[in-house]
Amino acid sequence: MPTITNHMPTAELQALDAAHHMHPFSTQDGFRKKGARVIRSAEGVWLTDSEGHRILDGMAGLWCVNIGYGRTELADVAARQMRELPYYNTFFQTTHVPAIALSAKLAELAPGDLNHVFFAGSGSEANDTNLRMVRHYWSSLGKPEKSVVISRLNAYHGSTLGGASLGGMIPMHEQGGLPIPDIHHIGQPNWWAEGGDMTPEEFGIARARELEAAIEEIGEDRIAAFIAEPFQGAGGVIIPPDSYWPEIKRILEGRDILLIADEVICGFGRTGNWFGSQTLGIQPDIMTIAKGLSSGYQPIGGSIVSSKVAKVLAEDEFNHGYTYSGHPVAAAVALENLRIMEEERVIDHVRDVAAPYLREKWESLTEHPLVGEAKIVGLMGSIALTPDKASRAAFAAPAGTAGFITRERCFANNLIMRHVYDRMIIAPPLVIRPEEIDILIERAWQSLDESMARLKEEGLLKAAA
């Protein structure tokens, strides 16, 4: 076999990819027919593929490249750390400077008494940690029956057994016998799709009260924790009605139930604060982190744990950990990422420049005939595609048909915008500039036009009965 390089013809790379590489969340046969897009390099918010196209990355990779591509400082730090100490574990009463420095930094950034960090290699692993941690916490307090974790339908908490069970994605549960026991799902605060005749405010309260009803039904003495993304990401960037989180807060107040905020997407500036919990004014007991922690330059995740929980866990051995917990290269890169975020005031840029600018342009997309609602918080946004705005109708075609066609048009117009069923979503690098936002919106509008024409042509612009 010849050495596989960037210089091979795209078709050859695609053939090898289809033959040997199993892709996550993909239909493998699709690659054999069409071939995967081969990404070769990237700079700022721009990707370059093997055909030389410059593509605007409206998704920051997978919601992770918060400081943008091409930051050589991170490469330098990684190389330096690899030369000095490429690996050592943090089991057996051992530690190293990158893990110490990163945990101290995260304790400083995280709100309230979230002062302790348990490292993992990813967000999924971190949520597995959280599941075991909250159950062990209650067990240590003499309440082993408090093992139920309440989550939400259409939540995303990762793809491991624990993560996918906590998540509320039915197509994931259907493969592999999930969820595991003692996970309970309540409804999501997705007013556009599920709000019926209620106002958004009424619906937000109603969905929050499903938590209260679940607690009453299952019994507080059986419940360990409630887990939620501050703003659902992979579920379609669902921004809850303003009434939702205050009601959740009221319900949890004074109850012996831990709150886990899954900040894997919302953390590290995405919503205009360090954490989505701060944007919402909630104080979780545990926060899940990954993605933007290292801006995706290294795989690393973790759980930031409150002193209240950490104190109980400290009393005996927690039989849990990963070979790569606190990996020195990943930790050093994450630390450098956070240093750059602070030095370059990236979150100020989000809050004062990029988010207000994007909000105005994004909301103007509702003027397009195919777009029902446009929602946005910080630099994560979604639009709902619909054949009939007034009734908030879904399409008669299977869910995701219109979304998929629109995503294809975006690809063709060199814009990465993802679809979740028939919602289109964006989460660009936080460093995106106003003139790049203009290009994003132009390409989105163009793609919507083309998608609309296709849908009309194929008779798909029809509302579900």
Ligand X SMILES: *Cc1c(COP(=O)(O)O)cnc(C)c1O
Taking the complex as a whole, the smallest distance from the CB of residue 265 to ligand X amounts, in Å, to 4
**Which residue, judged by CB position, is nearest to ligand X in the bound state?**
123
How far lies 426's CA from each of 13, 37, 436, 453, 461, in Å? 28, 19, 13, 22, 23
Q: Tell me whether residue 323 or residue 366 sits nearer to ligand X (CB atom).
A: 323
In the chain, the largest separation of any two C-alpha atoms, in whole Å, equals: 66
Taking the complex as a whole, the smallest distance from the CB of residue 122 to ligand X amounts, in Å, to 3
| Under 8 Å between Cβ of 285 and 306 | yes
63's enclosing H/E stretch is helix 60-63
Taking the complex as a whole, the smallest distance from the CB of residue 267 to ligand X amounts, in Å, to 9
Taking the complex as a whole, the smallest distance from the CB of residue 139 to ligand X amounts, in Å, to 24
Taking the complex as a whole, the smallest distance from the CB of residue 165 to ligand X amounts, in Å, to 12
How far lies 269's CA from each of 61, 69, 140, 276, 377, in Å? 16, 16, 35, 8, 11
**Which residue, among 31, 29, 44, has the nearest Cα to 429 in the 3D structure?**
44
Q: What are 166's two structure tokens?
A: 């906590």
Q: Tell me whether residue 123 or residue 328 sits nearer to ligand X (CB atom).
A: 123
Q: Tell me whether residue 274 or residue 395 sits nearer to ligand X (CB atom).
A: 274
Q: Tell me whether residue 397 or residue 424 sits nearer to ligand X (CB atom).
A: 424
Taking the complex as a whole, the smallest distance from the CB of residue 64 to ligand X amounts, in Å, to 8
Taking the complex as a whole, the smallest distance from the CB of residue 290 to ligand X amounts, in Å, to 4
- 3-class SS at 291? helix
Q: Tell me whether residue 69 or residue 156 sits nearer to ligand X (CB atom).
A: 156
Q: Tell me whether residue 47 or residue 266 sits nearer to ligand X (CB atom).
A: 266
Q: Tell me whether residue 170 or residue 314 sits nearer to ligand X (CB atom).
A: 170
What is the DSSP-derived secondary structure letter of residue 292? G
Taking the complex as a whole, the smallest distance from the CB of residue 144 to ligand X amounts, in Å, to 26
Alpha carbons 157 and 150: distance in angstroms, whole number? 12
Pairing outcome for strands 415-416 and 46-49: unpaired
Residue carrying the six token digits 């030095």 = 343
Q: Tell me whether residue 229 or residue 285 sits nearer to ligand X (CB atom).
A: 229
Taking the complex as a whole, the smallest distance from the CB of residue 127 to ligand X amounts, in Å, to 6
Alpha carbons 420 and 403: distance in angstroms, whole number? 7
Cβ-based neighbours of 142, under 8 Å, separated by 6 or more: none
| Under 8 Å between Cβ of 270 and 278 | no
Binding site for ligand X (CB under 6 A): 122-124, 127, 156-158, 229, 233-234, 262, 264-265, 290-291, 301
Crossing angle for the helix pair 434-457 and 355-363, to the nearest 10 degrees: 20
48 forms bridges with which residues in the sheet?
41, 54
- 3-class SS at 458? coil
| Under 8 Å between Cβ of 237 and 425 | yes
Q: Tell me whether residue 50 or residue 122 sits nearer to ligand X (CB atom).
A: 122
Residue 367 CB-density burial (10 A; 0-12 exposed, 13-18 middle, 19+ buried): exposed
Identify residue 184 by its one-letter amino acid code.
H
Q: Tell me whether residue 169 or residue 353 sits nearer to ligand X (CB atom).
A: 169
Taking the complex as a whole, the smallest distance from the CB of residue 286 to ligand X amounts, in Å, to 13
Q: Tell me whether residue 338 or residue 402 sits nearer to ligand X (CB atom).
A: 338
78's enclosing H/E stretch is helix 72-84
Alpha carbons 213 and 211: distance in angstroms, whole number? 5
Taking the complex as a whole, the smallest distance from the CB of residue 163 to ligand X amounts, in Å, to 6
